[in-house]
Amino acid sequence: MLALNRLLGSALGKRGLLGSGLALASGSGGAARCSVPATTTSSRGKSTSKEAAGGGGAEDEFYQFRDQKIPYIQDLRIRDPSEVTSLPCFRVLDDRGKLISGCEKFELEKDLSKDMYRTMVRLQTLDTLFYEAQRQGRFSFYMTCFGEEATVIGSAAALETADHVFAQYREHGLLLWRGQTFQEFADQCYGNNRDFGKGRQMPIHYGRKDLNVHTISSPLTTQLPQAAGAAYANKLNGYDGITVAYFGEGAASEGDFHAAMNFASTLACPVLFFCRNNGWAISTPSDEQYTGDGIAGRGSAYGMPALRVDGMDAIAMYHATKTAREYIMEHKSPVLIEAMSYRSSHHSTSDDSSRYREISEMQAWKARDPVARFQIWLEDKGWWSDEEETEVRGEARKEVMKVLDAAERENKLPLREMVTDVYDEVPQHLEKQYQEIKKFAQENKHLFPNNVPIE
């Protein structure tokens, strides 16, 4: 079993920045959690240890609450947060993509590494061309994963398909890893008749029952308490898998974050809370979102093990997620991961990030591109060549261009699909509303797309 109470490598630079050891920080946060000796009073309040009393009359006084023994002190002072050491950040590759000394034990095997890299390249190509297609007005909205490819693909590779995923909106790479095709991505963004969601969702709001990916919802953070509840239900049913909830550091400012963390901790739900800390919540920088030790630092307050990792290092992301998953499966309790990355693109096609951050900042972070870092490591291993790079990128580009054209030619679903599926039989009030819509559509066909059948 992985050692959870120590770091496996030496730290690089100042503690609390980037290190090469991997461990889960205990959720006890330094509180005195230990075995409780027999006591002479109830389980709450001032207690006197029989062991101490039997040792010459001296008494050890402490405040006991359930399984916590909190010692009394006579030193009255306020504890300053600066006295607490930041949770270190696990990494395997440096900013140049070179393996850090002592991290050889974390290197991945060849086939897995190449599969991960190919998927990262395909994800980059998908995002580039879909973003351009939206800018051309071919569909209404899009969000990219630029700068976070290693975060998403590294974690996806360490999970099992049986693991239920509640994503936010920048994790479509996980679907790509689990087998969703470029064509299926395009069909969803166009909302055509082949879209699994029947065109009822905004673009990039994917969902796949067969891949255990729950449909994305636009309201921020709603997926976290849902994931905690799903994990608890799966635990009661003896389900062989975990639940994963992806979210950004901005979502951690919502009340739903705290409710989900507390429910998951107190009910010991087998859920992985996965924070993509990319530095920006749309236009709000992280230093205006929170103070203290980031998101991972909150784990101890909820009695939840936590781990911070370099989200731009694909190898580190894989091992961090794998370690967390193994812990959850063994203990049937939650874990919090904070992946430190950077959103090198605009928040979405509705955003212009040059209005609130410097171009120099974006360029500096792009120099640490996670895809390029992983490519350098593969080349150093002799597992990747310029010829393979050209071939994979060229084929991916051709495929994406083809599926965009095909999706655009497909008809939308009939207008009547607006009122189906919610009820077993369409109730009278919805039928009445639909007939009004249908009449309006027939009288004003010029206002409706010509590829939407009116029935």
Query: What local confidence, expressed as pLDDT, does residue 364 receive?
Result: 86
* Token pair of 152 as six digits: 């998403």
Q: Would you say residue 37 has pLDDT above 80?
A: no
pTM given for the model:
0.86
State the average pLDDT over residues 389-400: 98
| C-beta of residue 152 within 8 angstroms of C-beta of residue 170 | yes
Q: Which pLDDT band holds residue 111 (cuts at 50, 70, 90)?
A: very high
State the average pLDDT over residues 288-314: 95
State the average pLDDT over residues 346-357: 94
List, as own/partner pairs, every contact residues 380-383 make where C-beta atoms lie below 8 angstroms and the sequence separation is at least 24, other chains included: 380/97, 380/98, 380/99, 381/107, 381/110, 381/113, 383/110, 383/113, 383/114
3-class SS of residue 54: coil
Distance CA 208, CA 215 (A): 7
Distance CA 272, CA 227 (A): 9
Q: Would you say residue 439 has pLDDT above 70?
A: yes
pLDDT in tens, 160-203: 999 999 999 999 999 999 999 999 999 999 999 999 999 999 99
Q: Which pLDDT band holds residue 365 (cuts at 50, 70, 90)?
A: confident
**Which ranges constitute the DSSP H helices of 237-369?**
255-266, 314-331, 359-366
Range of 44-48, 61-65, 430-434 with top mean pLDDT: 430-434
Q: CA–CA distance from 392 to each of 13, 147, 272, 297, 387 (Å)?
A: 37, 19, 32, 40, 9
State the average pLDDT over residues 81-109: 95
Weakest-pLDDT range from 158-172, 245-259, 361-375, 394-408 = 361-375
- Give the residue numbers annotated as catalytic, written as ranges: 132, 218, 347-348
Residue percentage of the chain with pLDDT more than 70 = 87
pLDDT in tens, 374-384: 999 999 999 99
Averaged pLDDT of the chain: 88
DSSP string of 107-169, one letter each residue: PPPHHHHHHHHHHHHHHHHHHHHHHHHHHTTSSS-----TT-HHHHHHHHHHS-TTSEEE--S
Q: Would you say residue 40 has pLDDT above 60?
A: no
The bridge status of strand 271-277 relative to strand 44-48 is: unpaired
Q: Which pLDDT band holds residue 27 (cuts at 50, 70, 90)?
A: low
Distance CA 47, CA 361 (A): 56
State the average pLDDT over residues 69-85: 88
| C-beta of residue 94 within 8 angstroms of C-beta of residue 345 | no
DSSP string of 390-444, one letter each residue: HHHHHHHHHHHHHHHHHHHHSPPPPGGGGGSSSSSS--HHHHHHHHHHHHHHHHT
